[in-house]
Amino acid sequence: MNETLKVMETRRSCRNFDKKKMVSAEDIEAIVKAGTYAPTGRGKQSPIIIAVTNKELRDQIATENAKIMGTDMDPFYGAPVILIVLADKTIPTYKYDGSLVMGNLMNAAESLGLGSIWIHRAKEEFESDFGKKILSDLGIDGDYEGIGHCAIGYAAVPAPASAPRKGNYVYYVK
């Protein structure tokens, strides 16, 4: 089977990361680069990616995300790296563009032997003063909306097998 198709079929959300093992800078760069090659409407490249490897900021983001979710658990399941995707709301296709970036990030992580998971609530985070300060501190101007967090790291346990695909997933018109 083609390696790309195999990655797409075997990638699963990871909910148990090895908290002791950090992802290499080279792997993070490769994953982020893959994200930048996601298709975007009219080639506008509306998304941006914030790669968070700083443990203190990662933990602050986890705390804020947990508050939005109404819990005190780590919403990133111990993943050491958070890749936050935001997209420029002035571009009509920004949500789709950001979603495609998220997909590329997760598939790239899988191709490198890393676990990943899409975590929501980025929209709420970056509408808050907390998120606005992160953008300001990074010198990011514009009307961005949080699309998602791609948490990545080494899986602590093997991924489960995929569930069978539902019977009415695809309809062919000939």
Average pLDDT, the chain: 97
**Domain 1-151 sits in CATH 3.40.109.10:** yes
Asked if residues 33 and 131 have their Cβ atoms less than 8 Å apart, the reply is no
Q: Is the model's pLDDT at 167 over the cut of 90? A: yes
Asked if residues 102 and 146 have their Cβ atoms less than 8 Å apart, the reply is no
Range with the poorest average pLDDT among 23-32, 80-89, 160-169: 160-169
Asked if residues 45 and 107 have their Cβ atoms less than 8 Å apart, the reply is no
Where residue 1 falls among pLDDT bands split at 50, 70, 90? confident
Q: Which of 76, 73, 92 is nearest to 84 (CA)?
A: 76
Q: Which of 63, 91, 77 is nearest to 119 (CA)?
A: 77
Q: Which of 10, 32, 23 is nearest to 78 (CA)?
A: 23
Q: Is the model's pLDDT at 117 over the cut of 90? A: yes
Q: 10 Å Cβ neighbour count for 19?
A: 14
pTM: 0.96
